[in-house]
């Protein structure tokens, strides 16, 4: 018995290194070994064609399907730069692209190549984004990954570089490194990048020489979460390659590529997800599941709970996890979970439908399952569920912004204003709705984060079908994101309770990031004195820092005393003590002489009333 246990333990320990080694997380999914002759395989490669300098004042013309410039020789791809006249250029070459034939988000890319040599050559093995997803310019906003660059006037030095909106050579802020490879033009080497959600590791012959990490970057520093494709070319001359001129005696020059291999990561974490299918409106929905790593070098970082594309909760544990959403509003919701491991790899669960309140799903429902609180940021992209005609009106029935909520008609874009999203392509007559919760009835002012194409925007707000603003016209600086404060004479008077806010956009073509309401002065109708009664209306602002104004009403002529007390019940001040006629009055409490804290003010007349106020200090 003892011996058996010992053997088991022995085997167990013996098995660990083996299983670690066998956990190869990369699977070959795309390659070209160039073991054929003739033009490059058209199922793998297309061509960038032209002689316009390619943004770098390059001198070559890139030809298309011309064996003199690009061919397979039975073992290698040969890209050849030649000295010959072609369409007004003095050199020809080739630039092969895998766009539309090989596009990947993340992966390991290995290219075994021998480089050309000589002053004026500029071979490159690199990647560009397949789609235009970020910012205002395809380049550099959407990124560039240079796995290998070499310039003939600096032989034997290999450069790896990334370019982004924040880091690029136009600003002199590009990030990169270089490595000495003295025989790069005489021998084959394997140039590789291992691109994962958290970082890019650049290597030559499996030896890492540079790592670029995502860190806390948003898209300006890390647009590398979209599809990229491969590019293989030799440029001639140009802003970098031609810095010391072109030696015309060197041509033709060849880059030989033995293979191009693309690998997919296979060890993404695993996730299970259980969700209720039905719930009473106002009920608590509990979600649970398990999250486990496949890669033994990683651990689970967190689990995220989503309604659609909206993050609801972050659960900072793996293994068994659960999360609850309380007070779920009536509506139909698409629930899913995602787990993320320490390598940045993530896995989404399947979606599960949740019907709260046995609804037909065609009414307004708040996107994040609970109404937006009116005094918190209301993200424009989290307009209501319910679809066109109910939750919004949009003139094009596709989401042209391709940000989130891709199957809705509203045009949601990844914002150029930091992180997150905004709604743009807003044309006259479009509207959006938001289910909101107003806890404190009162008069509100509105802040909006937006950029407008015109110097004036116009809009109006409805709450539960009632126009609360008329048409508001606001003048602002155009073409820049800014927070505007819309302060109208009468403010926006809102009732307490859950209601549907409808934002009618009438002009100015804004890009709307978020809205937020600020309480100007409260009304509390239940506690307000009826007209003709003596009582306290309230004080504003509360809390306060310099002074606050108390409003009160006197119903019957007579002596009225207004006093201020501290929490110990000691009278601090007498604010009024005189004969009052019927009417509304106000008195000011100045901060001078008060200690920070809470106070009570008491009205004594034909009735007695008391409320509190709070002094925040200076
Ligand atoms: Ca080969
Ligand atoms: Ca649209
Ligand atoms: Ca639109
Ligand atoms: Ca937003």
Question: Whose atoms come closest to the Cα of 33: which ligand?
Answer: 1
What is the 412 CA–ligand 1 centroid distance (Å)? 45
Helix H or strand E segment including 4: helix 2-22
**Measured CA distances, 445 to 46, 480, 507, 590 (Å):** 56, 22, 20, 25
Mean pLDDT for the stretch of residues 76-89: 98
What is the 401 CA–ligand 1 centroid distance (Å)? 42
* pLDDT above 70 coverage of the chain, percent: 95
User: What CATH number is given for 372-522 in this structure?
Assistant: 2.60.120.260
Whether domain 535-615 has CATH 2.60.40.1930: the reply is yes
Q: Which of 578, 608, 572, 605 is nearest to 591 (CA)?
A: 572
Give the pLDDT score at 610.
Answer: 85
CA 36 to chain CA mean position, Å: 44
Report residue 618 as tokens.
């200076």
Residues 123, 219: contact at Cβ < 8 Å?
no
At which residue do the structure tokens 């080739």 appear?
94
Q: Is the pLDDT of residue 3 over 50?
A: no
Specify the pTM.
0.76
Torsion of the alpha carbons at 466, 468, 474 and 479, rounded to the nearest 10: -50
User: Do the domains 535-615 and 270-356 match in fold?
Assistant: yes
What is the 410 CA–ligand 4 centroid distance (Å)? 13
* pLDDT above 90 coverage of the chain, percent: 77
What is the 465 CA–ligand 2 centroid distance (Å)? 24
What is the 494 CA–ligand 3 centroid distance (Å)? 28
What is the 395 CA–ligand 2 centroid distance (Å)? 6
Give the pLDDT score at 541.
Answer: 87
What is the 507 CA–ligand 4 centroid distance (Å)? 20
Q: How confident is the model at residue 528 (pLDDT cuts 50, 70, 90)?
A: low
Question: Whose atoms come closest to the Cα of 425: which ligand?
Answer: 3
What is the 500 CA–ligand 4 centroid distance (Å)? 19
Residues 436, 525: contact at Cβ < 8 Å?
no
Domain residue ranges of the chain, discontinuous segments joined by +: 26-265, 270-356, 372-522, 535-615
**CATH second-level architecture of 270-356?**
Sandwich (2.60)
What is the 71 CA–ligand 1 centroid distance (Å)? 12
Give the pLDDT score at 418.
Answer: 80
Q: Is the pLDDT of residue 356 over 80?
A: yes
Question: Whose atoms come closest to the Cα of 32: which ligand?
Answer: 1
Distance CA 337, CA 283 (A): 20
Mean pLDDT for the stretch of residues 311-331: 94
Give the pLDDT score at 209.
Answer: 98
Question: Is residue 384 left, alpha or beta, with left meaning phi > 0 and alpha meaning psi from -120 to 50?
Answer: beta
* 544-599 pLDDT per residue, tens: 988 998 989 999 999 999 999 988 888 999 999 999 998 888 898 999 889 998 89
* 473-496 pLDDT per residue, tens: 998 899 999 999 888 877 899 988
Long-range contacts of 45-52 (CB under 8 A, 24+ apart): 45/96, 45/97, 45/98, 45/101, 46/96, 46/97, 46/98, 46/99, 46/100, 46/101, 47/94, 47/95, 47/96, 47/97, 48/95, 48/97, 48/231, 48/233, 49/95, 51/86, 51/87, 51/88, 51/89
In three-state secondary structure terms, 12 is helix
What is the 402 CA–ligand 2 centroid distance (Å)? 10
Question: Whose atoms come closest to the Cα of 413: which ligand?
Answer: 4
What is the 237 CA–ligand 2 centroid distance (Å)? 45
Q: Is the pLDDT of residue 527 over 90?
A: no
What is the 408 CA–ligand 2 centroid distance (Å)? 8
Domain spanning 26-265: which CATH class is it, in words?
mainly beta
Mean pLDDT for the stretch of residues 375-402: 96
Question: Whose atoms come closest to the Cα of 510: which ligand?
Answer: 3
Q: Considering only residues 336 and 549, tell me which one the structure prediction assigns the higher pLDDT.
A: 336
- Provide the strand spans (E) within 342-427: 346-348, 352-356, 372-373, 378-379, 392-393, 412-414, 421-423
Contacts of 588 (CB under 8 A, 6+ apart): 547, 548, 549, 550
Give the pLDDT score at 4.
Answer: 40
Question: Whose atoms come closest to the Cα of 515: which ligand?
Answer: 4
Distance CA 91, CA 54 (A): 14
* 191-233 pLDDT per residue, tens: 999 999 999 999 999 999 999 999 989 889 999 999 999 999 9
Question: Whose atoms come closest to the Cα of 256: which ligand?
Answer: 1
Q: Is the pLDDT of residue 14 over 60?
A: no
Report residue 29 as tokens.
């999914």
* 598-617 pLDDT per residue, tens: 899 999 998 888 888 999 88
Catalytic site residues? 144, 149
The C-alpha angle 116, 99, 184, rounded to 5 degrees, equals 20
Q: Considering only residues 531 and 243, tell me which one the structure prediction assigns the higher pLDDT.
A: 243
Residues 134, 258: contact at Cβ < 8 Å?
no
Q: Is the pLDDT of residue 406 over 70?
A: yes
Give the pLDDT score at 135.
Answer: 82
At which residue do the structure tokens 């398990």 appear?
290
Beta-bridge partner residues of 549: 540, 588
Task: Please list all protein residues whose beta carbon sits less than 5 angstroms from ligand 3, which is an ion.
Answer: 394, 411, 425
In three-state secondary structure terms, 2 is helix
What is the 80 CA–ligand 1 centroid distance (Å)? 17
Distance CA 328, CA 371 (A): 9
Torsion of the alpha carbons at 504, 509, 514 and 516, rounded to the nearest 10: -50
Question: Whose atoms come closest to the Cα of 400: which ligand?
Answer: 2
Q: Is the pLDDT of residue 436 over 80?
A: yes
Q: Is the pLDDT of residue 20 over 60?
A: no
pLDDT mean across residues, the chain = 92
What is the 152 CA–ligand 1 centroid distance (Å)? 24
Residues 484, 526: contact at Cβ < 8 Å?
no
What is the 400 CA–ligand 2 centroid distance (Å)? 5
């Amino acid at each position: 018995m003892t011996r058996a246990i010992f053997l088991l333990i022995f085997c167990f320990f013996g098995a660990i290194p083996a299983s670690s080694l066998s956990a190869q997380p990369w699977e070959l999914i795309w390659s070209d070994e160039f073991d054929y002759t003739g033009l490059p395989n058209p199922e793998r490669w297309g061509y960038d064609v032209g002689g316009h300098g390619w943004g770098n004042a390059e001198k070559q013309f890139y030809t298309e399907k011309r064996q003199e410039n690009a061919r397979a020789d039975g073992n290698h791809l040969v890209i050849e730069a030649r000295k010959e006249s072609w369409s007004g250029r003095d050199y020809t070459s080739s630039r092969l692209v895998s766009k539309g034939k090989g596009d990947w988000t993340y992966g390991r890319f290995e290219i075994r190549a021998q480089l050309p040599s000589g002053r004026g050559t500029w071979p490159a093995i690199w990647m560009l984004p397949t789609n235009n997803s970020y910012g205002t310019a395809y380049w550099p906003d959407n990124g560039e990954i240079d796995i290998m660059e070499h310039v003939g006037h600096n032989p034997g030095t290999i450069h790896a570089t990334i370019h982004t909106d924040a880091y690029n050579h136009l600003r002199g802020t590009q990030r990169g490194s270089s490595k000495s490879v003295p025989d790069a033009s005489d021998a084959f080497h394997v140039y590789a990048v291992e691109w994962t959600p958290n970082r890019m590791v650049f290597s030559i012959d499996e030896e890492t020489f540079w790592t670029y990490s995502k860190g806390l970057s948003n898209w300006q520093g890390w647009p590398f979460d979209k599809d990229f494709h491969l590019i293989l070319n030799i440029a001639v001359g140009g802003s970098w390659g031609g810095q010391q001129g072109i030696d015309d005696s060197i041509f033709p020059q060849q880059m030989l590529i033995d293979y191009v291999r693309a690998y997919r990561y296979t060890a993404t974490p695993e996730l299970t997800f259980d969700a209720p299918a039905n719930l009473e409106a106002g009920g608590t929905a509990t979600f649970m599941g398990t999250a486990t790593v496949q890669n033994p070098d990683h651990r689970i970082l967190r689990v995220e709970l989503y309604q659609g594309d909206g993050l609801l909760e972050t659960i900072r544990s793996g293994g068994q996890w659960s999360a609850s959403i309380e007070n779920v509003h009536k509506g139909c919701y698409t629930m899913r979970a995602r787990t993320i491991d320490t390598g940045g790899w993530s896995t989404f669960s399947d979606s599960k439908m949740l019907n709260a309140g046995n609804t037909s799903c065609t009414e307004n429902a708040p996107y994040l399952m609970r109404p937006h609180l009116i005094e918190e940021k209301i993200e424009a992209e989290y307009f209501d569920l319910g679809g066109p005609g109910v939750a919004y009106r949009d003139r094009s029935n596709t989401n042209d912004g391709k940000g989130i909520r891709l199957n809705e008609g509203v045009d949601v874009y990844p914002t150029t204003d930091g992180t997150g999203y905004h709604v743009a392509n807003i044309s006259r007559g479009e509207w959006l709705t938001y289910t909101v919760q107003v806890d404190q009835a009162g008069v509100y002012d509105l802040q909006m984060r937006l950029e407008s194409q015109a110097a004036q925007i116009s809009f109006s707000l409805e709450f539960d079908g009632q126009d609360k603003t008329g048409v508001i016209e606001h003048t602002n600086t155009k073409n820049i994101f800014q927070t505007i404060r819309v302060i109208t004479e009468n403010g926006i008077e809102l009732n307490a309770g859950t209601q549907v806010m409808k934002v009618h956009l009438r002009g100015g073509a804004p890009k709307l990031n978020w809205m937020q309401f600020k309480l100007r002065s409260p009304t509390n109708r239940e506690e307000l004195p009826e007209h003709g009664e003596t009582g306290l209306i309230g004080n504003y602002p509360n809390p306060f820092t310099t002074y606050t104004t108390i409003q009160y009403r006197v119903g019957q002529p007579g002596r009225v005393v207004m006093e201020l007390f501290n929490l110990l019940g000691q009278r601090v001040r007498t604010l009024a003590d005189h004969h009052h006629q019927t009417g509304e009055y106000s008195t000011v409490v100045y901060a001078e002489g008060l200690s920070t804290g809470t106070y009570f003010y008491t009205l004594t007349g034909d009735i007695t009333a008391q409320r509190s106020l709070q002094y925040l200090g200076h």
